[in-house]
Amino acid sequence: MNATARVESLTKYYGVLAFTTREFCNRLSRPPDARLIDCVIVKGKSVPLELFELQHKFSRENFREIARSYGEAFALYQEGKFSEAERIFRSLSNTDKPSAVLGQRCAEFAAHPPQEWRGVFTLTTK
């Protein structure tokens, strides 16, 4: 299975309609509004992928506001400040599925920190 199919399959995991990667966004002459959801290594690959949710007609009205807060939390998460990131993700999690996913991950990492954290999550399932 190729990386594109794996990225598409992650939409259910994160609860979004569609993902794109930074590589794809960089090819667009006028990329739409988007937010970075995660930086992951999918099973069977070794190169990290940055997953972006594009704003679309079914996005919440406050997409940009959520994206801003999520971005703050995600920066803390990548720095290894899991407890601080969790607080922000949890505040968004009632209306934003990716925040619930990352909030739970941050709680687990705060309790059991990864030994060598580089800001990239390795997915162990397809």
CA 52 to chain centre: 7
Cβ atoms of residues 78 and 119 within 8 Å: yes
What's at 115, amino acid-wise? Q
| Residue 18 domain boundaries | 3-122
- Give, for all 126 residues of the chain, the pLDDT tens digit: 466 777 788 999 999 988 888 888 888 888 778 899 999 998 888 889 999 998 888 888 899 999 999 999 999 999 999 999 999 999 999 999 999 999 999 999 999 999 999 999 998 876
> How many domains are contained in the chain?
1
* Owner of token pair 């199919």: 5
Q: What is the reported pTM?
A: 0.90
Q: Which helix (H) or strand (E) holds 34?
A: strand 34-41
